[in-house]
Amino acid sequence: MIDISFFNKIKLQNYPHSTLYVLATPIGNIFDITLRALYVLSIVDSIACEDTRNTNNLIMQYGLSKILFSVHKYNEYKATNTIITKLKNKERIALVSDSGTPTISDPGAHIISAVQNAGLRVLPIPGASSVITAFCVSGLKNKSFYFLGFLPIKKKKRKEILISLINTKSTLILYEAPHRIMKTVHELLQIFGPMRQIVFAQELTKKFEKIHRCFLKDAMNWLNKDNHKKGEFVLLIESTFLKNNINNVYNNKKIDNILKSLLKILTLKQTIELLSNLTGIKKNALYKQALLFNK
């Protein structure tokens, strides 16, 4: 049985006034909030949040009612002045995002920097993070990761970023929305090839949570089954790529497809150098093949 008196010990820690508390909230399951987070939410004077409706719905489930004000990418600079003024008046403020840990692909970095530059305190109240949650259950054997957040909407910019990371030694992690998941996975397949592993961490901690690992060549089939395209995704792409065995992985048609895709966004020289370094195929052979596309 849990010792209820243990909860009272949370109050023994110092929670100073004139402090901004950067506080993590659940990423899906409302019970994944820390005891310290609940206590801090109960004592702060106000909460700076992305969407006041979402945050109000969350804290109401914990029996709390607080003054809320909106902080998002369109008003972050203006909201900074409000926060600093409140802190100078000895208020305690919690900074939260709609879910998870603030500033991880969400607004907040400018606010934190400005508060610190004003000589005021910023304290973390750690908790859930979809990036860390997905990474620890991915099964990918890597000690490091490279977090991309959401990829750019423009196709050319998106591909440039992914191509620049082909040979990275870290697991790649990115967010994706359900309406773009098929397009993104198709591009990952084109750029990284069929034998790179991908992990789909879908609807983490929620009722229909799924963790699925497969090769990129099988990813589209999985997405098309049983409504797997629904819900928010964290995607993880493994770092290891057996470039010395590339000819055992690709047939000529696959190489042609990659060559054509690269030529749309890179110069001929850049394409040949990149693909040669990646595959081990001689530049002359790739150059001759590329010339055939222009005939």
Rounded to the nearest 5 degrees, what angle is found at the Cα of 285, between the Cα atoms of 280 and 289? 120
Q: Are residues 274 and 224 part of one domain?
A: no
Q: Which residues contact 85 (CB under 8 A, 6 or more apart)?
A: none
Q: Total domain count for the chain?
A: 3
Q: Examine the fold and report which residue of 210, 237, 264 is the final residue of a domain before the chain moves on.
A: 237
Q: Are residues 150 and 55 part of one domain?
A: no
Quick check: is 6 in a domain?
no
What digits encode the pLDDT tens for the residues 101-117? 999 988 899 999 999 99
Show the tokens assigned to 146.
């490279």
Give the structural domain span for 53.
14-128
Quick check: is 283 in a domain?
yes
Q: Are residues 175 and 108 part of one domain?
A: no
Rounded to the nearest 5 degrees, what angle is found at the Cα of 270, between the Cα atoms of 265 and 271? 65
Q: Are residues 122 and 145 part of one domain?
A: no
Q: Are residues 137 and 116 part of one domain?
A: no
Residues of the chain scoring pLDDT < 70: 1, 240-252, 280, 294-295
Show the tokens assigned to 129.
């993070």
pLDDT score, position 246 = 42
Output the domain CATH number for residue 44: 3.40.1010.10
Q: Are residues 121 and 57 part of one domain?
A: yes
Quick check: is 27 in a domain?
yes
pLDDT score, position 248 = 38
pLDDT score, position 194 = 84
Q: Are residues 171 and 103 part of one domain?
A: no
Q: Are residues 187 and 96 part of one domain?
A: no
Q: Are residues 27 and 122 part of one domain?
A: yes
**Residue labelled with tokens 């000895």:** 90
Quick check: is 1 in a domain?
no
Per DSSP bridges, beta strands 121-125 and 145-150 are unpaired
Q: Are residues 124 and 39 part of one domain?
A: yes
pLDDT score, position 237 = 96
Q: Are residues 138 and 207 part of one domain?
A: yes
Output the domain CATH number for residue 221: 3.30.950.10
Q: Are residues 144 and 98 part of one domain?
A: no
Quick check: is 3 in a domain?
no
* Cβ-based burial of 205 (10 A; exposed 0-12, middle 13-18, buried ≥19): middle
Q: Examine the fold and report which residue of 97, 128, 159 is the final residue of a domain before the chain moves on.
A: 128
Q: Which residues contact 205 (CB under 8 A, 6 or more apart)?
A: 26, 27, 28, 29, 32, 128, 133
Q: Is the four-CA dihedral 79, 80, 81, 85 of positive or negative sign?
A: positive
pLDDT score, position 249 = 39
How far is the C-alpha of 133 from the C-alpha of 211, rounded, in Å? 11
